[in-house]
Structure 1
């Protein structure tokens, strides 16, 4: 059984991909592919595992042990049913939107969170994947989520801190690799958002997908509320800040491509990654920020 873990991340069309996988679950299952999205991971299966590392309690440890048993039994069960590939997609495993915003940096405790997941999936895990996104667009999207949830508008000081923060995607990628001992597959949101079938083929290259995969029907989400409150294409950063953040993103991508030839950066078609001058008019996957798809009140943070 090949187990592939898709970590998201938030605000990179993760929910759009999850919806597409669910919409095609019947076709995929007939080809030996099982899928666990938030409907499974937040319905108790990963209880005790989706939480800040510094807030893990004795009860969380006990819950995680029980989850480990359930997860491994479930993997064995679906393997016995003839499935050869399991794709797990859960963006909250790497961190949460409030935690990133409160610390003003990308997934500050990613490694601690993921090391706990690695202990569960380690015997089966064959691949880890994640998306990354241009900094100005990603932080603007995160701030928009905070505003919709009732947060205050970002101050100039906070925007300056986010624009200048030194923890970038290379640090997060290193944390993922350190936790799992597996080099993650990485793609850019700018190039891969919405290209679900291409993404699936890259995630699981052994698959021989048959024709008939459908386009996912988008679920009701919070996009209308965001656009109503903040306007379309919400962007709080100044032109100068956006330029600095985009230049840094492009430079990091180039460094990753040249300096980490063992790291696969998935890109295909479209404009050059990082080359978009404005936010998209419609944000993908707003529903993934509602955190209510089977979520339990405890164990999340």
Structure 2
């Protein structure tokens, strides 16, 4: 039975570092019968399945397309001697903007419906997710989407902050419960926290791979995911307000602004929340983790 390991993110939980590390280990993994498909390759293959004239990524594909990809194509990607396929794609759950709503990833049930199909096939399906305190997640989601959809990001931020002001508090427990109920057939489901990953990334990667002895390289934190300054975000928001259509080089414009106005210390790093609000979210996150531990025995990858 072939093993299908799918890390579904979520956004802003150190997914880029996780993916970069697996990519650096790619040759060693193949030598041990494990094939890690880099994110760019996964997205290219998904784009090839998209109807002509339409630009869609993984999170936009209908369940039927996902079934086709993973049931008909998955095994074709594996070298003949590999029995394990490893993937990591945070956009399969939805977009970062869908975090800034009244319900985390509101369409995740349909997006992950293909897991039910996989679980019925001759595949050992194992699903993984990473979570983090929402003061960091929501801020990171907003910053990310400013580079891709600035007007949509600003509107989503304003909407979320209005919800937050009136008492809305996101939690991971409910999201994990929704994921756990997607399939009629059970599949292995494990999670880890970004806070643990920042301290024990090597241990988490070894546990994900299933080999305690494999060498895990030490990679620096990706500069593309670093939090910019208040000045940088203010500049980007001002620029976005002046155009009707996003410039073709908008991502480069954002990167240039972030480099020009760096956050030189923690106090200068942009955040959606006041110090008191961030403290509240951190406390609720700890309560959330306890609830998860009680509701889903052995769900944490590192117990």
Kindly provide the CA deviation profile for residues 219-251 of structure 1, in whole angstroms up to 9, marking residues without a partner as x.
Answer: 663648667613442112123322322221111
Q: Distance in 2 between matches of 1:121 and 1:41?
A: 20
Computing the radius of gyration from Cα coordinates, the structure with the larger value is 2
CA contact (8 A) 2:93 2:108 kept: yes
Over the residues paired in the alignment, what is the CA RMSD in angstroms? 3.1
Q: How many residues align?
A: 254
Q: TM-score, normalised by structure 1?
A: 0.72
| 1:73 positional shift | 3.4
Partner of 1:136: 135
Partner of 1:95: 94
Kindly provide the CA deviation profile for residues 226-281 of structure 1, in whole angstroms up to 9, marking residues without a partner as x.
Answer: 676134421121233223222211111112223432422537xxxxxxxxxxxxxx
Partner of 1:51: 59
Q: Distance in 2 between matches of 1:237 and 1:219?
A: 24
Corresponding residue SS for 1:92: helix
CA contact (8 A) 1:176 1:184 kept: no
Q: Distance in 1 between matches of 2:287 and 2:208?
A: 25
Q: Distance in 1 between matches of 2:32 and 2:230?
A: 40
Distance 1:145 1:226, change over 3 A: farther
CA contact (8 A) 1:95 1:113 kept: yes
| Greater helix share, structure number | 2
Unmatched tracts of structure 2, length 5 or more: 51-56, 234-262
Distance 1:197 1:245, change over 3 A: same
CA contact (8 A) 1:51 1:113 kept: yes
* Corresponding position: 1:251 with 2:287: yes
| 1:88 positional shift | 1.1
Q: Distance in 2 between matches of 1:175 and 1:52?
A: 19
Unmatched tracts of structure 1, length 5 or more: 268-301
Partner of 2:30: 29
Q: Distance in 2 between matches of 1:147 and 1:51?
A: 18
Q: Distance in 2 between matches of 1:170 and 1:74?
A: 36
| 1:4 positional shift | 1.1
Q: Distance in 2 between matches of 1:68 and 1:169?
A: 27
Partner of 1:235: 271
Partner of 2:104: 106
Q: Distance in 2 between matches of 1:8 and 1:245?
A: 20
* Corresponding position: 1:193 with 2:161: no
